[in-house]
Amino acid sequence: MLTVGEILIKARSEKKLSLEEIEKKIRIRKKFLIALEDNDWDRLPSLPYIKGFLKNYSSFLGLKSEEMIAIFRRQFTLKEKSDLLPSGVTKPLNEPFIRFTPQTIVFTVFVSFAIIFFSYLFMQYRTITNAPNLQIEKPLEGEIIYSENVTVSGKTDPDAVVSVNNQKIVLSETGEFSTNITLPPGINTIIIESTSKNSKKKSVTRNIQIQNNQ
């Protein structure tokens, strides 16, 4: 089906009339006639003016103005407040906010890989620059222990090296450790130190009291 503009152009060409001639005859400015033929409603005034221009122009060319108005209405969608929007420009309320096209899919995949890559670099950087994690479960700070044999246990990074009072101890695959040390009666200080493979250190000090059980 021909558009409003195509019908107008065809009728004007058959009558061999120029836009300048029609402008003088029906007193509609040339720029508005061009807009009608181009179906460019944004360059026209409000809806009543568009209908009036179209009716006069159609009648002058020997076209049935009522049929032209009907074609115009089918071609375009009218909003409640008489705003005019071309069909195809108006968006349904349930239209997805994002349209998935090959370009958007490629872009999404690229961004996802970039995020993963830079997250990995950030985690590696933190691993290199941060001291290892070190959690001590036993003994507690200020704890009174009624035995000279004291259990020291906790958890650190699996690839770290742990020492208790400068004595290295063995870690499990998950970074857990436990060892027994002998301390004399009285107040004692236990220093637990964890050293990462990049020589970053973290230490925890426990002050405990060894009391003879008499």
Question: How are strands ordered across the β-sheet holding 176-182?
Answer: 134-138, 149-156, 176-182
Give the end of a domain, one of 19, 54, 86: 86
Q: What is the pLDDT of residues 152-204, one digit of tens each?
A: 999 999 989 999 999 999 999 999 999 999 999 999 999 999 998 888 889 99
| Rounded Cα–Cα distance for residues 51 and 76 (Å) | 12
Averaged pLDDT for residues 127-141? 84
State how many domains the chain has.
2
| Rounded Cα–Cα distance for residues 145 and 171 (Å) | 25
82 lies in the same domain as 153:
no
For residue 111, the Cα-to-chain-centroid distance in whole angstroms is 10
Q: Is residue 128 included in any domain, yes or no?
A: no
Structure tokens at 123: 């985690």
Question: 88-92, 98-102, 128-132, 153-157: which range is least confident on average?
Answer: 88-92
Q: Is residue 151 included in any domain, yes or no?
A: yes
Q: Which residues contact 32 (CB under 8 A, 6 or more apart)?
A: 43, 44, 53
Between the CA of residue 164 and those of 64, 154, 183, 206, what are the distances in Å? Answer: 101, 11, 12, 11
pTM: 0.41
Among 80, 79, 72, CA closest to 39 = 72
Helix or strand holding residue 121 (H, E): helix 102-129
82 lies in the same domain as 138:
no
Residue-range definition of the domain harbouring residue 75? 4-86
